[in-house]
A and B are shown apart, each in its own frame.
Chain A
Amino acid sequence: MSFLAPWMLLAGAAAALGVVALHLLTTRRPPPAMLPTARFVPESDVRAVARASRPTDLVVLTLRALAVLLIGAAFAQPVPDAPGPRVRTVFALDRSRSVADTAAARAIVAARFAEGDTLVEFGSGARVGELSPMFVSARRAAGRIARGADSVRLVIVSPVGDGAVDAATPALRAAWPGRNELERPRGVADTTAAPRPGLVTTLEDDALAPAIARLPSRRGAHAVRIVRGDARPADSAWARGAGHVLLRWPVAAGGVAGPEGVTAFGLHRATIVAPLERLPIPPGERVVARWADGQAAATERALGGGCVRDVGVGVPLAGDLTLRAPFERFLAALVEPCGGARGVAIADSALTWLTAPGPLAAGATLAAADADRTPSFWLLVVASALLIGESVVRRRPPAEVAE
């Protein structure tokens, strides 16, 4: 058993001695004694402070002293000494779909796992393992193994795909009181690269054309065709090809009611707010985009080796909406491969802040931050019970005083 704040033990002992001293200096009524000249004694409260050679009310004194000692012990934060190495490790294993070889990732953990270490899994079933909840879970797990340990090491086993870092991640990383180690297993293949989509349109000056022209064209495993209006049989036949994505995106009819918000759920979320027109779309197997009220704005259904996406977002023919960056991101999300794109691993150079050098996290710091301090809690419970008992004993009617 060790204490995180041992000086509180001394404070508790001093307070208990103070309680005993107060019992010796307690205010009491002195015994009566005949004195004919009592009238010359200055008038004062008949109860006077008197020193006693032995404390009275031993039961009350015992309850009070014990309660004070227990409170001091509770604030001293006792921590049971756990057996094991002095340096312990929290392994944070990415279980998301962004990990290409989960067995390899587990092997990394198994190779280094030792007695007293703990494993935290994060991002289970998600496209990418987000680091922010990982840090929260790791901090909590570290509090449990930090008791009795000198230092705690955090080893993150994750490919750290694009989307794993959000706005809260740097702050949570800074809250971890030590350095991290990052083991990056192989991530899934990059599926975001694709040739520039082909546009099939009857309009002379289609508003989508400039936006499509701004999309990067890279060698990829899938091809995209955007059809404005009804798809021809040839388009449907093309869509059956492996990795082919056919977007059926009708032209707006001109019935714009007002500004609308729509969000596409691609590798990156992309939202645009503009005077858009809601166009009817058939139900699909997967919703690719939604209006602000939750209605589906774009759906996807498989067709042969490819898929068909119906987009019900009427883009105004006039204006510069399609020239803006939000629309470019919105369009990029719509042209992702069937079933959604797989993430792109973040470069090591962009993660230097995550593995900044420094000492390991101190075990005492992490144990103190742990909210689950069972010994302190129960000590406070017992102290409270003693104080309640003291109150009951103190309120008992006093014994008759013989004069």
Chain B
Amino acid sequence: MPVGPYGALLDAVRGVRWPARRPVTGGAPGAHPARTRGAAPEFAEYRPYRQGDDPKRLDWKLLARSDRAFIRLAPDQAILGTSFVVDASASMAFPLLTAGKWEQAKRLVVALAAVAHTSADPVGLMIARPNGALRLEPRTRRGVVGEIARSLDRTRPAGTALLAPLIAGSAARCVVLTDCLGDFDALRAALARHVARGGEAHLIHLVARAELVPARAAALATDPEDPTVRRPLVDATRDGYRERFDAFRHEVAQVLRADGVQVHEVHDDEAPEVIIRRLVRPSGRDGRS
């Protein structure tokens, strides 16, 4: 699998499993618990025989002993399609020198795709770009992770991109990587609809360390996606900025978790393998990872 610079990361996450947060809708056999009951050797429960059931699944010994027709049920497992929706707007290329948020997003997508693909889940990619989205439909074939990596490497964040329209075309597990500085309200509504349809939604909120703790030097802060937003970031406004940004991040996590979305805030200077293990860990009922 030609994965280029991601080799070390993929080695670090080898063996990691990413179970579904809840039973998935039945489908092709896979690694995730399914809502359906199948005919596996492992016994789960009995169910009264109904007309149309396969007679092979009757428990004949029970029928002989009690003269009651029951069918043996066993837990079923299915695959879980995973789509990654990546924000490639200009704000993701921050800090300017390292493009830390974008680079972190790329690493997380490739690593998570590899983890999901290891479980035989189909993985796909959608990149929100100003000149139209790039779509890679979820596939299970070999090489799909490399294809995702190459698509990401060819992309340069720029302009303004809309994420919400892409959510409707996502697979059952939708993973959005964004800094939430674009069409957040529409994105939130789209994710809420996805969860309501029975899907699983993850939002990875990418935050640069330089956004959390801006440089001490006075600067006229300018929004790369809206040059009309120019405000002095000086000693007098620094505390206010931190308070408002902290409140924004807190609100993002709160409202999305209320909608059933798994929210993970990651920073550009965190080790991706650590983030991956934190992301795949089963979460509490509030969606906090």
Contacts and interface: CB of A to CB of B under 8 A. Distances in A.
Nearest to A29: B220
A392 interface: no
Given A31-B220, A42-B244, A36 B234 contact: no
B224 to A, nearest CB: 5
B218 A42 contact: no
B231 interface: yes
Given A44-B236, A46-B230, A46-B231, A36 B245 contact: no
Chain B interface main SS type: mixed
B181 interface: yes
Nearest to A45: B232
A41 B224 contact: no
Interface in B222-240: 222-226, 229-234, 236-237, 240
A30 interface: yes
A341 B218 CA distance: 92
Contacts of A40: 241, 244-245, 248
Given A37-B181, A40-B248, A42-B244, A32 B237 contact: no
A32 B222 contact: yes
Of A33, A34, A35, chain B has the most CB atoms within 10 Å of the CB of A35
B183 to A, nearest CB: 14
A21 to B, nearest CB: 17
B225 A32 contact: no
A40 B220 CA distance: 13
Interface in B52-73: none
Contacts of A41: 221, 231-233, 237, 240-241, 244
Interface in A20-61: 29-50
A42 B248 CA distance: 13
A37 B245 contact: yes
Chain A interface main SS type: loop
Nearest to A47: B232
B179 A35 contact: no
B219 interface: yes
A294 to B, nearest CB: 81
Contacts of B214: 35
Contacts of B262: none
Contacts of A44: 231-232, 236-237
Given A30-B218, A46-B231, A48-B234, A36 B91 contact: yes
B211 interface: yes
Given A42-B231, A48-B234, A34 B224 contact: yes
B94 interface: yes
Interface string B10-36: 000000000000000000000000000
A48 B181 contact: no
Which size class do B's interface residues fall under? 20 to 34
A267 to B, nearest CB: 84
Nearest to B223: A38
A46 B221 CA distance: 10
Nearest to A35: B221
Nearest to B246: A40
Nearest to B211: A37
B187 to A, nearest CB: 16
Contacts of A46: 220, 230-232
Given A41-B241, A49-B234, A30 B220 contact: yes
Contacts of A33: 215, 219-222, 233
A44 B245 CA distance: 17
Nearest to B233: A41
B229 A39 contact: yes
A40 B179 CA distance: 14
Contacts of B94: 34-36
Interface in A192-229: none
B202 to A, nearest CB: 22
A50 B211 contact: no
B245 A30 contact: no
B96 interface: yes
A45 B237 CA distance: 11
A46 B233 CA distance: 9
Contacts of B223: 35-36, 38-39
Contacts of A36: 90-91, 94, 179, 181, 208, 211, 223-225
B163 to A, nearest CB: 15
Nearest to A37: B211
Given A34-B94, A36-B179, A36-B181, A43 B221 contact: no
A35 B222 contact: yes
A34 B220 CA distance: 8
Contacts of A34: 94, 96, 221-222, 224
Contacts of A47: 232
Interface of A: 29-50
24 contacts: A31-B218, A31-B219, A31-B220, A32-B230, A33-B215, A35-B210, A35-B219, A36-B90, A36-B91, A36-B94, A36-B179, A36-B211, A36-B224, A37-B241, A38-B221, A38-B230, A40-B245, A41-B221, A41-B233, A42-B237, A43-B231, A44-B237, A46-B232, A50-B218
Interface of B: 90-91, 94, 96, 179, 181, 208, 210-211, 214-215, 217-226, 229-234, 236-237, 240-241, 244-245, 248
Q: Which A-B residue pairs are the 10 nearest by beta carbons?
A: A36-B91, A33-B219, A38-B221, A41-B231, A35-B221, A30-B218, A42-B240, A48-B232, A40-B244, A32-B220
Given A37-B181, A38-B229, 4 more contacts: A30-B219, A30-B233, A46-B220, A46-B232
